[in-house]
Every structure is written in structure tokens, then in C-alpha cells.
Amino acid sequence: MTESAITIRAGEWDTLSQWCRPLRELVFINEQGITREEEWDGLDRRALHFVLFADNQAVGTARLLPDGHVGRVAIHPEWRGKGLGQDLLRQVLLEAHHQGHTHLMLSAQLHALSFYEQLGFTAQGEPYTEAGIPHRDMSCALD
């Protein structure tokens, strides 16, 4: 397989929703069965959004809320296992640091704990259920 050309764009919802929305619908609503009401929580207009493009195709997305919460991290199923999620999250961490954040938080699905741990996040508290899926809170101090 040849190397894919990877780019990551950051911006507001009005600019990036055309790519974020279909990815989140595919991963969270269709694949994971999360309700539309839970997915479209009204916070998108306040967040900084990220879209990862591989070969000019939007294949990953994430958002950073003003309070330092990272969320809605999704990679297209056909593009998983290629390190793109780490590329995307490293960009989120870098941008958060540039914005002056010293600490980030997220709610991780249990199957993804090791993914976030590799990026410097630490699990905290007990597991809980959110949108019918087991989660655990995680945090990361930024240097």
C-alpha cells in the first residue's frame, strides 16, 4: 500500500461541518447506535473542530471545547488501524497547548483506553455508562 497524503484542518463548525457531520453520523449513530439527540448535543458551535483528510477524503474528526474537553473523536472504519487517530489527537493536543490549555479531559469508551494512554491521558474514576456504552473519564496535563 502506498503512503496516503495526510492533512488536518482545524476550524469552526460552520466551516467544517460538511465533513464532521457525515463521519460522526457514520461512526456514532449508524455504527455505535447512539441517538441523534445524544450526538447533536448543541455544543458544536462552541467547539474547535478538526478534520483529518487522507488522499483528499475526510476520514477522521474530533472537537475541542473551550473548557478543555476533547470529544467526538471518530475515524472512518475503512481507515482505522493506520495511526490516523494518533495523528489527529496529536494535532488536537498541539492546538490546545497553543490556546493556553494546561489540562485536557475526555470521556473514553473503555475499548479505547489504551489508545488515549499512548497519547498521555490517564484514566480516572470508575467506569460508567454513557449513551449505552461503557466509558471512563481521562485527563492529560499539557507541557
Q: Tell me what pLDDT residue 4 has.
A: 74
Q: Tell me what pLDDT residue 3 has.
A: 63
Reply yes or no on whether the pLDDT at 108 is more than 60. yes
* Fold (CATH) for 6-141: Aminopeptidase (3.40.630)
What does the block give as the cell for 127? Answer: 467506569
Task: Using CB atoms within 10 Å of the CB of residue 104, give its burial: 0 to 12 exposed, 13 to 18 middle, 19+ buried.
Answer: buried
Q: Give the helix/strand (H/E) hosting 13.
A: helix 13-24
pLDDT digits (tens, 9 = 90+) for 2-39: 467 999 999 999 999 999 999 999 999 999 999 999 99
Average pLDDT over residues 110-122: 96
pLDDT digits (tens, 9 = 90+) for 117-126: 999 999 999 9
Domain positions in the chain: 6-141
Q: Tell me what pLDDT residue 37 has.
A: 94
